[in-house]
Amino acid sequence: MSLQAILKSQYHASLVMLLEAIESCPAGLWTSRAWTNPYWQVAYHALFYTDLYLQPEESAFTPWEHHRPDHHRFGPPEDTSPAVTPYTWGEVAVYGRRCDAMVDGAVDRLDLTAPTSGFSWYQMPKLEHQLLNLRHLHHHTGQLADRLRQVTGRGIRWVGSTAAR
């Protein structure tokens, strides 16, 4: 199995798990302010950066057509930014499925031997940057799965690989 096939499998498996966390979220948890960053925003943040870092470089990125400024960022919005309006469960699920659908083509376009990430704020080779991107996606999926378990008593299923899809 090639390195590209392995990365694709792990991106797909990770996105299946994130989508399950999104689709299992009860309405009250979706926008709850019990955490610093609400559930919807953690889910959107994870998808936004997965999408961004699957690009060969920053200049190749085109945000999702429903992207709203600063909605992917954590912390208080800048004084000059518009108010942050939560995305609906359905909107984030659609974005998640869009990200999953673009994985294969995006990974195929990457030069995994490139000595740079393509993003000035990450000084590392492209392959390491892809592993970092997967870790970021896993980190936030785990956050959401933990919140879901705390509130509902249910977790999400483990998906180890989607290589056989």
Average pLDDT along the chain, 165 residues, taken 10 residues at a time: 95 97 96 92 96 96 78 58 79 97 98 97 97 98 97 93 66
- The candidate with the shortest Cα–Cα distance to 95, out of 51, 139, 145, 141, is 51
Per the structure block, which two tokens stand in for 150? 């705390």
The full set of domain ranges for the chain reads 3-64+89-152
Supply the CATH classification number for the domain 3-64+89-152: 1.20.120.450
Burial of residue 53 (CB within 10 Å: 0-12, 13-18, 19+) is buried
pTM: 0.91
